[in-house]
Amino acid sequence: MAQQRAHHFSQILLADGWARDVRIVCTGGVCASIAIEVPASAGDERHTIGIPGLPNLHSHAFQRGMAGLAERRGLTDDSFWTWRDVMYRFVDRIRPEDLQAIAALAFIEMLESGFTRVGEFHYLHHDIDGIANANLAIMAEALVAAAHDTGIALTLLPVFYAHSGFGGLAPQFGQRRFICDLEQFGRLLEGAAAAVATLPDGIVGVAPHSLRAVTADELKRLLTMSPTGPVHIHIAEQIREVEDCVHATGVRPVEWLLDTVAVDERWCLVHATHMTDDEARRLAATGAVAGLCPITEANLGDGIFNAGPFLSAGGRYGIGSDSNILIDATEELRWLEYGQRLADCARNCLSTGQGASTGGGVFATALAGGGQALGASSTLAVGAPLDFLTLTADHPSLADRTNEDILDSWIFAAGRCAIDSVWRRGERVVSEGAHRYRPRIEQRYRGVVRRLLA
């Protein structure tokens, strides 16, 4: 018989809003029942403030290993493209066991900061010389092993990457570990799906890397290879990318994608930074999710998302840690709002209406959008995995807070240090801010980084 345990919360954010004195019975990692306004029973695990864990919809876990190593000014104007050169040099040395060690550290930092599911946009496929491994999915298996090591829920998004630029340009030397043809990618996808099937709540999608890396024909054939499940793509992150797209196709990237394939609720357009108002409204109408990564977009100098017309048209978004330069759910949400404030010289830009809480709005939108983009439930409801965080009610910034004021004060004032514990499938994986396996995962990570940087 599956293990059963009950939790009692003084306040918790459920699927239909905040509730008091809530008792959740967890059976086999899943919410079996939720009762509201009931007292705790003897033996219940007691919590003061509970909120659902957030989905992190976009990560390249291996990049955690180079965080902070591209922050020196170069000879020429630094840009996304000079950062990418550093990334390509780092990537050249990573073997499967290195990837597992780096990803495990990134995943425990995600859990510690409030993310309970990650969408891993995975393009590091081949051996260090660029030759395909006998087991094509060996690097995907390393990511799955890191998810097993840490307990995080994984949506794996194997990336199809074939070209270096618009018009099917031949790949560059630095991209040799990423490149597949469609036949090889089909086998890789099968192997990745078999690995993910070993995880509780594991999901597989597919990710055409970007419009630079796939042709229209390849994109259409890729969609037939993965007819259900999430579809993620990097798009319109950089102005040069928009210019190259206009030069090659006559139209802008988001416009081209919407004209070329049937974008729907399965899709997540990662960044979508440089959209005209018309593109933003058209994207919103598809029901697809915009995958926003404010910390990375600031770090790489990408630009600021055109939120006004997108949200006015009912657009959906979620947040991602992308380059993992800094892993922190509240900081992503805070910078999402602050970017808009700085651009518009205004306040409470992402609030959903007069009097509505901005923290409550960005949290609820990122929760729903992230869940949709990763093909998983993200709210606390019967039948869903019991994934939640507890906040420490004695943090001074949370003193006497209730309902949405808790989220405003957590996101804008307290930050991640107010997280007390994190639970995945009803099991405590983080206590007093630290993952239960942090010492051993951190030690393994230090050994790998020492070798990679030697």
Reply yes or no on whether 271 is catalytic: yes
Where do the DSSP E strands lie in 247-373?
267-271, 289-292, 316-319
Q: Does 322 bind Zn ion (CB under 5 A)?
A: yes
Query: Rounded to the nearest whole angstrom, what is the least distance from the CB of residue 382 to Zn ion in the complex?
Result: 34
* Closest alpha carbon to 125 in 113, 137, 111, 107: 137
Q: Does 332 bind Zn ion (CB under 5 A)?
A: no
The residue (of 237 and 420) whose beta carbon lies closer to Zn ion is 237
Residues numbered 73-92 forming contacts with Zn ion, rule: CB under 5 A:
none
The residue (of 302 and 408) whose beta carbon lies closer to Zn ion is 302
3-state secondary structure at position 435:
strand
The residue (of 292 and 398) whose beta carbon lies closer to Zn ion is 292
Query: Rounded to the nearest whole angstrom, what is the least distance from the CB of residue 193 to Zn ion in the complex?
Result: 22
The residue (of 84 and 221) whose beta carbon lies closer to Zn ion is 84
Phi and psi torsions of 99, nearest 5°: -60, -45
Residue 329 DSSP one-character state: H
Residues 6+ apart with CB under 8 A from 388: 12, 50, 51, 52, 53, 116, 380, 422, 423
- Contact window for Zn ion (CB under 5 A) among 108-116, 124-132, 275-283, 314-322: 314-322
Q: Given the residues 322, 328, 387, 420, select the one marked as catalytic.
A: 322
Cβ atoms within 10 Å of 103's Cβ, excluding its own: 33
Q: Given the residues 126, 271, 274, 435, select the one marked as catalytic.
A: 271
Q: Does 420 bind Zn ion (CB under 5 A)?
A: no
Query: Rounded to the nearest whole angstrom, what is the least distance from the CB of residue 254 to Zn ion in the complex?
Result: 16
The sign of the torsion formed by the CA atoms of 412, 414, 417, 421 equals: negative
Query: Rounded to the nearest whole angstrom, what is the least distance from the CB of residue 291 to Zn ion in the complex?
Result: 8
Instruction: Point out which residues pair with 318 in neighbouring strands.
Output: 291
Distance CA 129, CA 356 (A): 54
Tell me the residue number closest to Zn ion, measured at CB: 322
- Contact window for Zn ion (CB under 5 A) among 5-13, 320-328, 336-344, 422-430: 320-328
- Contact window for Zn ion (CB under 5 A) among 75-83, 133-141, 318-326, 430-438: 318-326
* Closest alpha carbon to 333 in 414, 272, 266, 277: 414
Query: Rounded to the nearest whole angstrom, what is the least distance from the CB of residue 323 to Zn ion in the complex?
Result: 7
How many residues form the binding site for Zn ion (CB under 5 A)? 1
Where do the DSSP E strands lie in 247-365?
267-271, 289-292, 316-319
The residue (of 267 and 388) whose beta carbon lies closer to Zn ion is 267
Binding-site ranges for Zn ion (CB under 5 A): 322
* Residues with catalytic function: 271, 322
